[in-house]
Amino acid sequence: MMLFLKINKSEDHITKITVNKHKFKIEIYPSLVTWEIFPHDYNAALYAFSNKEKLNKIIKEKYVYEPKK
């Protein structure tokens, strides 16, 4: 008996951003109100590790929550 697992992965919630010349890919999960950050290269990973709070704040304000009016 073979078991196949179907993964439903929507490409709609994947965003590419650049912060201070560092490139990242963000996968946003709106049902959970959370996200994952994937650095493009080693330097971006070091930047993300050192500036986690700053990066999370930018993502929350620009990509996850609707802007305040």
Mean pLDDT for 11-35 is: 85
Mean pLDDT for 7-26 is: 78
The set of residues, in sequence order, having a beta carbon less than 8 Å from that of 61 and lying 6+ positions away, is 67
Contact 22, 40 (CB under 8 A): yes
Average pLDDT across the chain, whole number: 81
Which H helix or E strand runs over 15?
Answer: strand 14-19
User: What digits encode the pLDDT tens for the residues 40-66?
Assistant: 999 999 999 999 999 999 888 888 877
Contact 32, 50 (CB under 8 A): no
Task: Record the pTM.
Answer: 0.71
Query: In the chain, where are the structural domains located?
Result: 12-64
User: Tell me, what's the pLDDT at 9?
Assistant: 54
Contact 27, 13 (CB under 8 A): yes
DSSP 8: -
